[in-house]
Structure formats: structure tokens, C-alpha cells
Amino acid sequence: MNATTDVDAAPFEVARRIADAVLFEGYVLYPYRASAAKNRLRWQFGVLVPPAYEELGGEHSWQRTELVMEPAAGARLTVELRFLHAVRRTVQELRPDGSTPTVASLELPDRVLVPWDEGAEERVRMSLPVAELLGEGVTLPFNRPAATETELVSADGRPVGRLNRRRERVEGAVRLTATELPGPWAALRLTAEVLNTSAWEPTAGAADREAALPRSLVAAHLLLGLDAGTFLSMTDPPQWAAGAVAECRNLRTWPVLAGADGRADVVLSSPIILEDHPAIAPESPGGFYDATEIDEILALRTSALTDQEKREARGTDERAGAVIDLADSLPAEVMERLHGAVRALREVTDPAAPPGPDEDLTPWWDPGADRSVDPARDRVQIDGLSIGAGSRVVLRPGRRRTDAQDLFLQGRTALVEAVLHDVDGSVHLAVTVEGDPGADLWREQGRFLYFQPDEVAPAPAEEAR
């Protein structure tokens, strides 16, 4: 095998900023304190646990990326696996008698130190000729040894405690194979698997996720690069490759083109589903890490934290402290840019042209703009019956799979209030649920639940009628 782990990472520089966002997405959540309830269950994306924990019914120990590529003759493939290695931090206080007991918190003038799992970035790199991936392929094992370190903590020039950091040994492998696709095109299906092979045994009272995290690969993702050739988009492949792309199986990760615009020589395979050529908004002033909010809201809320909350955040993690400093230092013009941006404009009408005498000025989105539809009188055929306003139906949600709340209405009877047609030609039934004490209020306000015809069935009374 002509592979090397000492490779040039330059092909990935354009993609690295978005890859960093993937690596630290959800790392620490607003309000950035370890004591916050939502920061007690750490890391949600791309966690590859030890096999022994997977056998207990937990998360998975491996992920699989599969895509189609067109390498040029003699091309080399560069692979970089990136993940976080959990570092378990404990806090000790230095007492006057010289003892250093482990404590739940240590108060300092500028921060409050607490136990916490930090994330150390790890990278596994390799580069090899694409030709070597054919047949049995190539497997690159890797490991990161266990280590401990101690940091002395001082306040006002005197030692007051220390932080102990412990990282466990993690082991894994990157397995790469390629198969030729049938046809006249020089295309290959590339399969890249990332496996956590770390040894871990559950102990009494510790057979849980928290105990397995120090031997896990956290936020694991791949960067793949070709020095000559291209990868094919998984969402917009050329017609000749559509069938081959559809047959690719990606498990717990999703590959997207991630190089410079107009190029297809770099792929980011991420545990978070992205579109091709993802990018960080230029207005973003820095990482906020929270997986559920937008920068503007996070900046405003973070700057509004109390001084004590900010001290706790700074003591939780250095990255949390950086978020506090960032939010406190944003000038007004940067905050204005966070409120929104217009990327492009196109003219759809001539604003200077006066309306004609017979021109209907009703907006296109107003139901009254289309005289061919009438929500109160239109009907739709369901199971051979004509259903419209006033009909009773039994709700059968589930086919849309877009709103989990709808599942609570399974089997309930509802009254059809209107039959609506959207601009795409789809039909929707506006309904109120029978027995809902707020139905009259919703009806008065014009607020309804909406279901498509294949999500309802005529009520028995409608069938009899």
C-alpha cells in the first residue's frame, strides 16, 4: 500500500470553516453553563461509541459514506477524519492544610470552575492512489493514547486549586474501498467507513452513555479530496449517474460537495445533513455553538446574561467564555447585519407601470385571486365519496411525516371547514377536531388543522349518507 499519513491539507482549506462548524455544532448550548439542564446531555451529532456500548442498545460504533467519483488516471485520494476526544475535567480546591479535595465548584474572581467534559480536536490523515482502493481496499487503524494533565489555578497571585484532565485511549479505523461502475464511464463507487474499535467494559452503576463518552469519537466526519478528478453530487448528479448515485448507502452521515464554488474535488461527509457547497454566512461574527438558535438571538440573549451567569459560563469552557466575550464586544453595526441580508433581487413587475383599467389588483396569494376555486363549495373525492365543507372525516396522519403532533390525532373525527388548493396544485382539507372545546374560537379566527386527502377517511356517517 502506497499510503502516507503525513499529507498536505491544503485541498481542504476552503471546506475547513464549514467542517469546523460541524465539529463543534452543539458543543455547548446557551446559556453556556454546565449547570443548565440542556448541557447535561452532551454531544448529539456523529457520536461513534465503543462497540460494547452499542451492544447495550446505545448509539452506533460506525458510520458509512458512499458516493460516486470520476478520478483521472493516476489520481490520489486524500482523506481526513476529524473528531472530538472527550477530556474529563475535575476540580480540586487547595485547602489551608495543604489537602486538595475534589469539589463541585471553585469560585474565582472572574469565573466559577466546575467539572466538565472538554473536547480535544483529533485528526487522522492519509493519502493514497485511487487504484489501490480497488478489490479489498485499504484499512488504516489509528489510536490516541490515554493521558492525564494537571493545571494549577491561581487567584490574586496565589494558588487556590487545580484542574485535572483525563483522556482515555481511543482506537478506530478508516476503511476505504472502490468498485468500478458498469458502462463506458470511468467512474467508481467509493465506500468510506469510520469505525470505533475502542475497548470498553461497563461497570456496575456506570453502564451509561456518560461512561462511554471518553472512549467515543465525537462529531466524527470525513473530508475527502481528489488531486485529479471529480466527485458527483448526491442530490444533482448527471443523468447517466443518477441510478448509481441512488444506489449509494450512507449511514449516519451525508456527503456534500464542499470545495470552492464551481469545483467538485472536495467532499465533506457530515453527520448533519447539508446542501452542496455549504457556507457560513458572511455576517456571522463567530461560533456560537448552540444547535437550536440563530446568531442574532444568541448574541442578544448572551449579552443579557447576569454577571454571575457569565462567570459560570467562563468557568465551564474556554469556548463558552469566548462566546461571552464575543457577545459583549459586538458593535452596533455588526448586530444590524445579523438581523438579515438580501442575497439577490429580481424584478417581477414594472413598479412604474400604472395598472390597467381591467387589471385585478388582488394579490396572487389571496384566495379571491383565483375565481376557479371556492374553499366553501369545492369538493374532493376520497374513497369514492365527495368530501367538502361540512363533511365529517376520520384523521389518519402519518404519510406526510412532517409534524409529530399530528400523530396524537390518529383516529379522531374532524369536521371539514374548507377545501383549499395551493399554488402547486395540491389539495388540503382545513378541519377542526370534534370534541375540541376551542373549535369555535379557531373557526372564528380562521385557524385550522390541515391534512391532505390521503391522510383522512370518510367518517362512517358520510359513508352511510
Record the cell numbers describing residue 143, joined without a space. Answer: 489510536
Q: Which tops the pLDDT comparison, 266 or 364?
A: 266
110 CA to centre of own chain: 33
Collect all residues with Cβ–Cβ distance below 8 Å to 288 and sequence separation of at least 6: 30, 295, 298, 299, 302, 323, 326
pLDDT above 50: residue 98: yes
* Residues across the chain: 465
pLDDT of residue 370: 65
pLDDT of residue 295: 81
Cα–Cα nearest to 138, from 109, 189, 177: 177
What is the DSSP track for 262-295?
T--SEEEEESS---SS----TT--S----SSS-H
pLDDT above 50: residue 278: yes
pLDDT above 80: residue 26: yes
Record the cell numbers describing residue 289, joined without a space. Answer: 455553538
What does the pLDDT look like over 394-452, one tens digit per residue? Answer: 998 865 555 667 778 889 999 999 999 887 778 999 999 999 988 888 888 888 999 99
Reported as a pLDDT band with limits 50, 70 and 90, residue 224 is very high
pLDDT of residue 7: 47
- Amino acid letter, residue 51: P
Averaged pLDDT score across all residues of the chain: 87
Q: Which residues pair with 139 in a beta bridge?
A: 175
